[in-house]
Amino acid sequence: MLILAASNGHNLVLASRVAQEAQLQGHVCHVVDLVALGLPLYTPAAEAAGGGGHPGVDELAHQLRALGRLWVCAPEYNGSLPPTLNNALAWLSRGSGDFRELFSGLPVALASHSGGGGQKVLSAMRLQFAHLGCSVLGRELLSSGQKPANPASITAMVAELHRLAPAVAPPG
């Protein structure tokens, strides 16, 4: 499973907890810190200047195809998706060839550690990933400084995400 952390704070810590649980269950996973990845802002001009793609996007698309599952940990920004996630999705949908092939039927789990409510980002992600053609888990994970992530929820969600997609070889 590919685990995207859309911030390098609490959501990266949450992504690491998910990765630990996935490994305990015997699954291959890879955590990507979208902040550290440092993708340039997607614009049609940036796409054209990069020859239609970007090396970081190409690697993300490769990992997504190879791992066959996605878990996204993202904080709520102004009641919606954080810019790092929005930007990565814009690049993936434009720079990875056929975005429908990339996302169609892809099992996706959603999680957020947010200073605010967090429910709006989970709803926005659900809408976005469903629009891309993904199969979004019905259960989601919401945590904050006052409400830590429930370990039993992480365990159950990792198991459900892997039940929905066939096992694949790790990227080479």
Q: Which CATH number covers residue 46? A: 3.40.50.360
Indicate whether 167 belongs to any domain.
no
pTM over 0.85: yes
The answer on pLDDT for 111 being more than 90 is: yes
Average pLDDT of the chain?
A: 91
Indicate whether 84 belongs to any domain.
yes
Domain of residue 38, residue span: 30-157
The total domain count for the chain is 1
Give the pLDDT band of residue 101 (cuts 50, 70, 90).
Answer: confident
Per residue in 54-94, pLDDT tens? 788 889 999 999 999 999 999 999 999 999 999 999 999 88
Neighbours of 80 (CB within 10 A): 17
Indicate whether 97 belongs to any domain.
yes
Distances 157 to 8, 31, 53, 87, 118 between C-alpha atoms, Å: 22, 16, 32, 26, 18
Share of the chain above pLDDT 70, in %: 91
The mean per-residue pLDDT over the stretch 151-166 comes to 92
Exposed, middle or buried, 147 (CB in 10 Å: 0-12/13-18/19+)?
A: exposed
Indicate whether 19 belongs to any domain.
no
Indicate whether 112 belongs to any domain.
yes
The mean per-residue pLDDT over the stretch 44-52 comes to 81
Indicate whether 104 belongs to any domain.
yes
Indicate whether 2 belongs to any domain.
no
> What was the pLDDT predicted at 167?
45
Nearest to 135 by CA among 162, 163, 164, 96: 164
Share of the chain above pLDDT 90, in %: 76
The mean per-residue pLDDT over the stretch 120-147 comes to 96
Residue 164 sits at the vertex; the CA angle it makes with 88 and 157, to the nearest 5 degrees, is 75
The answer on pLDDT for 97 being more than 80 is: no
